[in-house]
Structure formats: C-alpha cells, structure tokens
Chains A and B, each alone.
Chain A
Amino acid sequence: MTAYEVATWTLVKLEWAILVYFLLVNGWYVVLLASAGLEMRRHVLLSRGQARWKMLGSRVVPGISMLAPAYNEAATIGESVRALLALYYPNLEVVVVNDGSKDETMAVLIDQFDLAPIHPIYPRRVSSAEVVALYRSRTHPNLVVVDKRNGGKADALNAGLNLATGDLVCAIDADTLIEPDALIRMVRPFIDDDRVIAAGGTIRIANASRVESGRVVDTRVPRRALPGFQVVEYLRAFLFGRLGWNRLGGNLIISGAFGLFRRDLMLKAGGYLHETVGEDMELVLRLRRTGYEQGGAHRVDFIPDPVAWTEAPESFRVLARQRDRWQRGLADVLWRHRTLLFNPKYGRMGMIVYPYFVFNEMLAPVVEAVGLLGVILGLLLNAIDWPFAILFFLTAYGLGAVLTFMALVLEEMNFHRYHTFGDRVMLVVWALLENLGYRQLTVIWRLKGMWNYVRGSQKWGTMERKGFTTTVKTPPADEVDAGKRARV
C-alpha cells in the first residue's frame, strides 16, 4: 500500500466516523427539539392566566437574597442596585459584594444608599477572601453591602452567601438587567415542588435594545453582526437546549448571570468552588450529585420566560476570550466530575445528560474541526467527490439553521418579544448567516479553550463593555476579575 492509499483509506474511515457522530448528534437534537416543544406547551398551559400578582400580597413566600458581586462598577452600581431593590417581590434582601474594586464603587454605594458601617462579624460558613467592612442601609433596610478583598466572582458570591438570610439565593452579575417580575416567575418551581434545588431562566441579549432605569423597555435585534449572531445563539441555547433538557433529565447549567438556588443546600455543599472558571456549572453539578448520593432533592428546573438581559461582547477579541473561558470551564467541570460518566447511580444525569455534555458540548469543536479538515484533505487527495462534500456541508449547516429557526418559532409563538417586522427579518438573517463564518470561528475559539485548559490556564481575562445607557469601559483588572459572564 502506498502512502497515498493509506492516507485515502484513513480519510474515508474518518469520514464515516464523523458521519455516524453527525447522525447521532442530530438525532439527539431532534429529540431535544421535540422535548422543548412539549415543555413549552406545558409551560404555556400552566402559566396562562396565572395571577402572579397575588404572590405580592403573600405572607409566606420564601425569602430571597440577591447576591450581586461588583468589581469596578462605579458608573452603573447605583442604578443597578436601585433596579434590584425595585424588583417585584415581597420578601427580598439585596446583598451587594464589592470585590475589592479599585474605583469609586464603594463610595458611590455609601453615598447613594446612606450606608451605616456595622461591626464586620458574620457566620463564616463558606470560605472567601477577607471581609474589610459590612454596611447596612439606613434608607433600605433590606440592603446589605459587603466590602472585601478581590478574589473573583466565586469568592464574592461565597462572601455574600455567608451574609444572606433568605431561604433562596439568587446569584447574578452586577450588570445583569432583571425583568421586574422575574423573581415571582422563578420562585414558582420551588413553591410547587419541594424537590427543586435550583432554577434558571432565559437570559437574552440586550445590545441595541432600549434600556431605561435598569429595565429593558424596547427589545430590538442588533444590526451589527457579532451581537446579532449571539442573539440567535442565546435563543437557540435557552429555548431549544435548556428547555429540552427539562424533560430529559434536567439541566447541568444555570447561567451565572441569573440563577436561583436553595441556600441551605448551597451552604451544605460548601458554596462556590474557587479553583474553576466554570463555578456556576460546577455548583449545579455538585448540588445535583449530592442530591443523588444522599437520596435527597436534585431537581433543576428551567423556565423559558425571559427573566434577565445581558450585554454581549461586540468585539472579536472579547468574544474569543469569553468562549475560550467557557470551554475551559466546561472541560474543567466535566473532568472534576468524571465519575458520573455512564454511572447508573446518578440516574438520567449519569446515563444521558453528562455523556451528552462530554461527547457533544465538549468534544463537538474537536469533531467539527477534524471533519472540516478531513473534507478539505479528502477533496485535495480526491478521496471524496465534490458533489458529496457540498451536499454534506449544506445538510450539516442546514440542520443547524433549522434548529435555530425552530427556536425563533418558539419565541414568536410564545413570547413575541421582537415586535417589528424588521427585527424578525434580522433574526432570520442572523440565523442564516451564523453558519457562514461565525460558527467556524467559535469552533476555533473553543479549541483554543481546550488547549489552554490542557495547559492549565485559569485566567478569567477582562471584559470591556459599552454599557446600556452610558459608555463604560472596565479597566484592566487583576488575574482574577469579576467580569460578566453568561454561559450559553
């Protein structure tokens, strides 16, 4: 056999392996899509005509502590905290954690909320960096501010967790815009079912939307390509992926931008893990895993309602860093909990959900890159014929586009948030163009993330943002930076 023949034979076999993988993955996507459709129908039927406002007058709703870590947020912190305090919920506590900001964040908080310093002692149930001072607001009795040394987002959340007193804890990013009735919607799964340990909702992209006083008042689709692609990407991830998993074994991820957890279980589990960049996913996995091991509650619910908005990166450099970090976080968390793989002790989580995340979410960029390179090489070596390659390429990306289109259908039929004809056209345009270049770029960034993980990188990187109402640029921070993140 000549070298040419060996190479050709290998490529053909490889292409078959890729084809089988492609069929398995897309077959599973169809199952997920059907599950998402059924879940959406159930959700709509259950929530139609529900008098959510009645909860505002209830004396027995579980208390919620909002944990808002802030790092160099002086320009927006006042408005963000006011928006949190104005959320519709009868038993709410807001714990703002100043994670060693180098700007005027703390001074702004003291000034705008009439903070009184109190003796900095607290039950140290989970570990965090040193707390420098504690404050309580004289004007808002439900506002607590923790001033601590810089330690990153997970560390700040742990410090807040020590101070929280609510039955439930809501972890958010300081710049997340929350829908006024988000907590009333999110608390429902906990009220209806004692087995629920955590709940997440749909996070949407607010770039190009009009924001007033910390609220999204006019939802628009960005006309710029990069945030536009992310809008459809988020819609697909939440309305198709996470919603679908609700019925098939539960989610492993609750977005760090907005998630609700049972405080007692978080404390029992030891809070957030510092040593990972995927702390939000790691916590969910650990809580579920503990539930299975101890025969306790382990259900994670996802609510498709749009509950929070975030700002997507608008530059390739920042987006690349974000995706690199997400991939590292994913790989790290899956490796830490590797004993779950095909372990029947963990039920559907071990047998279906975890393997899916390993073989699809984590390894997809590797397979996609190998497949693409294989096709190119195969064409160069004449091992694959052109018409077949073109048809295969069109089918693969066509299927991707169909899934996105179905997510758009779910959004239009149930939430109807984008109300102009132009916005709907733009959604369709971004859904079609996403596969031509953007998707391949994300593959490269994720591969880079895998490589960096193998090399042992734990960097957060920095996040620059324009801001919703005013232009804000976050200055470069330390190695650990409580920048914004929302895993998709």
Chain B
Amino acid sequence: MEPIRLLNLALVVIGVCMAAALLTIFGHAARSGWRERRAGPALERGRIALASVGVSPRVDRADVALLKALPRRLQVRLFVELVPSMAGSQRGRLTSLAHDIGLIAAAEWMCGSRKWWRRLSGVRLLTALGGGDNVVPALFRDRHPAVRTEAAEWAGQHGRPEIVEKLVSLLDTPEAVGSWVLRDSLLRIGPACIPALAAYLETRSGARAEPALEVAAGLADPRFGAAAARLCGDPHPGVRARAAVLAGAIGGDALVLRLEWLLDDADPAVRAAAASALGRLGHWPVATRLARMLRDPAWNVRSQSALAMRRLGSPGLLLLRRALDDEDRFAADIARQVLDMPETTAERDQSR
C-alpha cells in the first residue's frame, strides 16, 4: 500500500475513534442523567420506607411491596446506603427486610457465580446486609484473592466457633488473604475468638505468631498469658517485641518479671517495647532501671523509657527531672523533651 493511502486510512480510523469517543462521553452522560432522574422518585420513596423500618419495629406490608417492586440495582443502592448508619435491632430488622424482598437470596446466588466479580459483589452485599452463613465460609478458599479477603471481612461479623476456627487457621497463610484483614476481622469478633486464638498461640512461634500476638494484645485477655510468657523468649526479636506488648496489656506478676528480663534484651525494639509495656502497667519499681535506660544507645529505647517514666507518675517524673542534669547529654535531652511534651501528645505517643 502507498504511504499516502496508508495515511488516509489512518485518518479515517482516527475520525471513527473520535466520533465513537464523543458518542460515548455524551451518550453516557445523557444516559446517567436520565437514569438518575427516572430513579429519583422511586429512590426517595424507598429511602422513606427503609428509614421507617429503622424507627418502627413493625414492618409495613406496603413498604415491603414498594421495596420489592424496585429494580435490584436500586434495592442494593438503598440498603448499602443505609446499612452503615444502623446497628443492633435496627440492623436486624434491615436484614430481615432484605431477606423478605429476596435481596439476600440474590446475593447468595451471586456467591456461587463463575465470575469472580459477581462472587465479590455477592459477599460484599452479604457483609453489608448479614446472612450468607451457608455460602460464604466456602469462599475462604476462593480462587480470587479479593473474594477470599472479602469473605474474611464477612467473618468479622460472625463470631460462631466454626467460623472463628477457620479464620484463625488462615493466620498460617497470610499470603492467601492478607494479614490486615485477618487481624481486623478477629479484633471485630472480639472475645468470641479468644479460645481459638489462645490455642493457636500455644503451638506457634516465630514470624507466624506475630499477627496473632497483635490481635491478642488488642483483646488483652489473661488466657493469652502462657503464650505471652513463652513467646517473650522467642528467637525472633519481632516476636519478642510483640509478646512484650501483649504482656503489658495483660499484666500479672509472672509477665512483669518477663518484661523486666526483656529490658536487657539485645534488640533495641524489644527493650523499647518492654519499657513501654511496664510504663503502661504503671509498674513503678522499675523506675530506676528505666532511668538508666535513658542512656541507651538506641533512640527508640530512650524515647519509650522516658515516656514510660512519665506514665509512672510521681516516681517516674522525679527521676525524669533528675535526668535533666545527667552527665549523659542524650539522657538529659530525652528527659527534657518528654517533660516539655503537652499532656495530650504524651498520652498519644505512649499508646502507639
């Protein structure tokens, strides 16, 4: 083909593409506007009907009929819009209404789809509305990571023992779901996951124990005590540091002894975590040891020790003021900084 004819052809293709793009831009805008205008009154009526479910325990049949008559897309939109603002019995009524109008059945059907995005939408809908006990647990091992992750998020609202067991067992393979989602879901489940998590921690060590230790620290239950004491001696510094945080959250004589022992750990992150944990427990007998740690070569240890001393109250503050005249410039500096710190800021830094 001659170059000039090739250019002519290219220009025709360009023209067609531009026309198609223009048509898409303005066509899509017009269609969206039209759909919004058309759905407006129905959405408004649906919002009123749904809101009435929130205030009144009795569900009006007319409201149910109205919601049932809405297209599925609008039903989903209305429920997803309202769900974040409802909890407790109101949320329960909303779930029951979603069941009555067939929304939950539709979401469960979507969970069985061959297309991953449909399964994802299905789980998301069930996470928002409730339900799905029979279909979602199977999705913990879904082919698509996003579906697995969403299934784990769903589990965060379902503290039944078999679900918790499954969720805790996933801690062994964080790459399958994502460590954050697992930790978040377990913390949302709360006390119901303590027995399974404590049993898990009894048998784990090393990097595998880290996410579980973080969750355990958030739940702060004495049933984690044995695991915390054992893991304070783990070969991995990261695990020892997390175990120290857990020990500080639980307290008790045995764990305080472990924490005091960790103040001499070779790893600075562990020493810092132990100092912070002892400050959190208000264990004032270690005040003089913490004062010595203001001379530690690691910034984080000095900083956490000073913050812990401030938290100990009078004994710690007294030693901090004395440290202002310390011959070690680093100890004096960190003492000055922590004493200068506004109250609100110090509290925040200690809780981090």
Contacts and interface: CB of A to CB of B under 8 A. Distances in A.
Contact of B25 (A192, A193, A394, A428): A428
Interface string A20-45: 00000000000000000000000001
A402 interface: yes
Contact of A424 (B26, B124, B178, B333): B26
A295 interface: no
B10 A395 contact: yes
A186 to B, nearest CB: 14
Interface residues of B, number: 58
Contact of A121 (B32, B125, B215, B334): B334
Interface stretch (B48-56, B59-67, B339-347): B339-347
Interface in A50-69: 50-51, 53-54, 58-63
Q: Which of A121, A416, A427 has the most CB of B within 10 A?
A: A121
B54 to A, nearest CB: 18
A137 B120 CA distance: 43
Given A395-B11, A395-B14, A49 B80 contact: yes
B153 A54 contact: yes
Given A46-B120, A58-B184, A119-B333, A63 B21 contact: no
B232 interface: no
Given A61-B180, A193-B178, A398-B18, 6 more contacts: A51-B127, A58-B187, A59-B187, A119-B337, A141-B344, A424-B29
Interface of A: 45-46, 48-51, 53-54, 58-63, 116-119, 121, 123, 136-139, 141-142, 165, 191-194, 387-388, 391-392, 394-395, 398-399, 401-402, 405-406, 408-409, 412-413, 416, 419, 421, 424, 427-428
A116 B340 contact: yes
A46 B22 CA distance: 27
Given A141-B342, A388-B4, A391-B11, A413 B124 contact: no
B128 interface: yes
11 contacts: A49-B124, A59-B218, A60-B215, A63-B352, A119-B337, A191-B178, A191-B180, A194-B179, A395-B14, A399-B14, A428-B22
A119 B340 contact: yes
Contact of B21 (A58, A116, A408): A408
Nearest to A55: B184
A409 B4 contact: no
Contact of A406 (B21, B146, B342, B345): B21
A60 B28 contact: no
A137 B342 contact: yes
B252 to A, nearest CB: 23
Interface of B: 3-4, 7-8, 10-11, 14-15, 17-18, 21-22, 24-26, 28-29, 32, 76, 80, 84, 117, 120-121, 124-125, 127-128, 145-146, 149, 153, 178-181, 183-184, 187, 214-215, 218, 299-300, 333-334, 336-337, 340-345, 347-349, 352
B171 to A, nearest CB: 13
Given A123-B299, A395-B7, A424-B25, A402 B14 contact: yes
Contacts of B28: 412-413
Nearest to A423: B29
A117 B340 contact: yes
A430 B243 CA distance: 60
A391 B180 CA distance: 56
Centre residue among A61, A139, A395 by max chain B CB count within 10 A:
A395
A341 B299 CA distance: 40
A405 B17 contact: yes
The 5 closest A-B pairs by CB, nearest first: A405-B21, A398-B14, A119-B337, A123-B299, A141-B344
A387 B4 CA distance: 8
A53 B82 CA distance: 13
A149 B7 CA distance: 58
A320 to B, nearest CB: 30
A419 B125 CA distance: 28
A413 B24 contact: yes
Given A116-B340, A388-B3, A428-B25, A405 B84 contact: no
Given A119-B333, A141-B344, A405-B18, A49 B29 contact: no
Nearest to A114: B342
Given A49-B124, A388-B7, A116 B25 contact: no
Contacts of A60: 180, 183-184, 187, 214-215, 218
A58 B300 CA distance: 26
B11 A398 contact: yes
Contacts of B7: 388, 391-392, 395
